[in-house]
Amino acid sequence: MALIEARGLTKEFRIFRRREGVMGAFRDLFQRDYTTLRAVDGIDFVVAEGEMVGYIGANGAGKSTTIKMLTGILVPTAGSVNVNGFIPYKEREKYTRGIGVVFGQRSQLWWDIAVIESFKLLRRIYNVSQEEFKARLKKFDDILEFGSFLHLPVRKLSLGQRMRCDLTAALLHNPAILFLDEPTIGLDVLGKAKIREFLKEINSESKTTVILTTHDLGDIEALCPRVAIIDKGKMLYDGSVDNLYAQWGHDKMEDIVKKIYEGCKPEQYCMIENWGDTHA
Amino acid sequence: MPDHDLPGRSRPVGFGNRFLLYLELVRMEFVNNLAYRSSYFTGIFNYTIQIGAYFFLWDAIYSGRRAIGGLNKEEMITYVIVAWVARSFYFSNLDRRVAVEIRDGKIALELIRPYSYQMVKYARASGEAFFRILFFAVPAGTVIYFIRPFGLPPDWQAGLLFLLAVIGGFVINSQISMIAGFCAFFTQSTSGIFRAKRVVMDLFSGLLLPISFYPGWARDIIKLFPFQTVSYMPNLIYLGKITGGAVLKVILLQLFWVAFLGLVSVLFWRFAVKHVVIQGG
């Protein structure tokens, strides 16, 4: 049975377009000009238990919006979504017990208090027993090595240290699914390597399903046998990384992805020269 | 492998555990506030000056008169002091905090948690309120008492019932703040709403002026809203102007408003979350 099953998933945003100038602002008071933006446009996305899927796309392609619908933060405009046996936005309190989420751009830890205090509070929130809590903390510490700054407030941590703590925070309750929205953003090479190693370990040992968005294709190459590519809200490719290479020849992954973002489809073979012409 | 070692099988949370979580949040907020205790000392100073200004104002208004709106001068001064000291306890920045979380998109991190956002916010507000009562309201009351002694409740029962009513006022004030904060879901500029809320609260709760000072038609309108149960009614209990069965009526009225506002904020929350747009990221 699929752990994540989304069919025809769509999210539209209404955007209020402000008119220019003083007269425009005055007119806005009485009549607002809305345009509809389709951030995610009827995508199908099915993930089995234990998979590790990379979800990539250019800025504004709809990655984060998809993740927010899968995690129950946003309500889809159309389509169906079922994750871990729940409709995320409907049964939020039950559903979120089984997932972990990391937003690379925001910390979920309390800013002013020691990291360990945040962990303890999360232990309470998810009702994790004391033994499990200690065991997991120790296991995670073996790879992520956060022991030395566990007693510092989050605001004093470096980005790399913070991210390691955020990952721990998302996994303390041993969720079935881990959603990562750009977990390696802004990290140095060593920091990235550590996080990749950790994710691999979690995926193989606890069978945690991982969905990961990233702009760093190194993350995909290191972690994900399967990749989904989205652009302008539409799913352009969803399949194995191996197949991607097979279809496009043995280019570097970065080049393949560039071409896909440029609008080339795997079926219509795009010449590398063509691509070079328009972007020389 | 024990069952709970499988991913996603964390144990369900019973009522007791949920209560412990909220208690933990109360404690954490209390400890958090300890870090900012010096700012409360300036607060005590500000309140003393504020109350001082009202003292002279009412002193002038009462010159030559025995009673206005059912209160004599001494009762009026006690009323003002008690109203402001109580406010130092029940006042909170809940509206601003909620609005900031919504505007910055931090609300996303709250929506992925298996708890009730509102209950968490109320728990933290309670932690702050406990702190305020110990480090703000009680010291401010004591300082003012030494500068200008004011009347005490007629008996200890009245004092106790006053405390109970003020706690009710705290809950109602927090609920109103929460609903005001939720307006941030629909508008970027909440400062106007908050300013309006503050003026309405100060005037209609009886903080600036006892409700008995208003003309009859205004009193009839104020009766339709929960505001006067926050300050005016508790203060009258303190002064011994509301006694016996009437106190029970006040408490019941507060319970009614707690239930009503609770329902409104739950419905508002459900509606708003469906239309939520997370800013940034």
Give residue-wise pLDDT tens across range B22-77. Answer: 988 898 888 888 877 777 778 888 888 888 898 889 989 988 888 888 889 999 99
Q: Is the pLDDT of residue B8 over 60?
A: no
B110 contact residues in A (CB cutoff 8 A)? none
Give the residue among B88, B94, B99 at the shortest CA–CA distance from B192.
B99
Neighbour tally for B65: CB within 10 Å? 9
pLDDT at B207: 92
B35 touches A: beta carbon within 8 Å: yes
A125 touches B: beta carbon within 8 Å: yes
pLDDT at A272: 41
DSSP secondary structure letter of residue B188 = S
- Mean pLDDT over B256-261 rounds to 97
Query: Both tokens of residue B129?
Result: 């309120």
Closest CB to B28: pick one of A75, A93, A121. Answer: A121
Distance to chain A for B191, nearest Cα, Å: 18
B115 touches A: beta carbon within 8 Å: yes
Neighbour tally for A86: CB within 10 Å? 18
Query: Is there a contact between B116 and A93 if contact means CB atoms under 8 Å apart?
Result: yes
The type of residue at A142 is D
Closest CB to B8: pick one of A92, A101, A175. Answer: A175
B20 contact residues in A (CB cutoff 8 A)? 124
Conformation bin of residue B51: beta by default, left when phi > 0, alpha when psi is -120 to 50: alpha
Closest CB to A97: pick one of B10, B24, B111. Answer: B10
Q: Is the pLDDT of residue B5 over 50?
A: no
B173/B90 Cα distance (integer angstroms) = 7
pLDDT at A200: 94
pLDDT at A250: 66
B112/B106 Cα distance (integer angstroms) = 11
Helix (H, G, I), strand (E, B) or coil at B225: coil
A210 touches B: beta carbon within 8 Å: no
Q: Which of residues 129-148 of A touch B (CB under 8 A)?
A: 129, 132
Closest CB to A75: pick one of B28, B115, B274. Answer: B274
Q: Is the pLDDT of residue A269 over 70?
A: no
The burial class, CB within 10 Å (0-12 / 13-18 / 19+), for A190 is exposed
A124 contact residues in B (CB cutoff 8 A)? 17, 20-21, 24
Q: What does the pLDDT look like over B192-226, one tens digit per residue?
A: 999 999 999 999 999 999 999 999 999 999 999 99
pLDDT at A1: 65
A132 contact residues in B (CB cutoff 8 A)? 4
Counting residues of chain B whose pLDDT is more than 90, the rounded percentage is 51
Bridge partners (DSSP) listed for residue A33: A17
B44 touches A: beta carbon within 8 Å: no
pLDDT at A248: 75
**B127-159 in b/e burial notation, b at 16+ Cβ within 10 A?**
bbbbbbbebbbebbbeebeeeeebeebeeeebe
Q: What does the pLDDT look like over A174-221, one tens digit per residue?
A: 999 999 999 988 888 988 999 999 999 999 998 999 999 998 888 998
The type of residue at B31 is V
Q: What does the pLDDT look like over B153-191, one tens digit per residue?
A: 999 999 999 999 999 999 999 999 999 999 998 888 888
- Mean pLDDT over B265-274 rounds to 91
Are the CB atoms for A66 and A8 separated by under 8 Å?
Answer: no
Q: Is the pLDDT of residue A273 over 50?
A: no
Query: Both tokens of residue B232?
Result: 């005016």
A163 touches B: beta carbon within 8 Å: no
pLDDT at B278: 64
- Mean pLDDT over A230-235 rounds to 90
Query: Is there a contact between B276 and A177 if contact means CB atoms under 8 Å apart?
Result: no
Q: Which residue has the higher pLDDT, B110 or A266?
A: B110
B269 touches A: beta carbon within 8 Å: no
pTM for the full model? 0.85
Helix (H, G, I), strand (E, B) or coil at B6: coil
Q: What does the pLDDT look like over A149-162, one tens digit per residue?
A: 999 989 899 999 99
Are the CB atoms for A31 and A19 separated by under 8 Å?
Answer: no
B266 touches A: beta carbon within 8 Å: no
A106 contact residues in B (CB cutoff 8 A)? 105-106, 108-109, 281
pLDDT band of residue B281 (cuts 50, 70, 90) is very low
CA B70 vs CA A86, A194, B85, B103, B251: distances in Å: 60, 73, 22, 46, 22
Q: Which residue has the higher pLDDT, B11 or A227?
A: A227
- Average per-residue pLDDT for chain B: 88
pLDDT at A280: 34
The burial class, CB within 10 Å (0-12 / 13-18 / 19+), for A45 is buried
Query: Is there a contact between A127 and B276 if contact means CB atoms under 8 Å apart?
Result: no
- Average per-residue pLDDT for chain A: 87
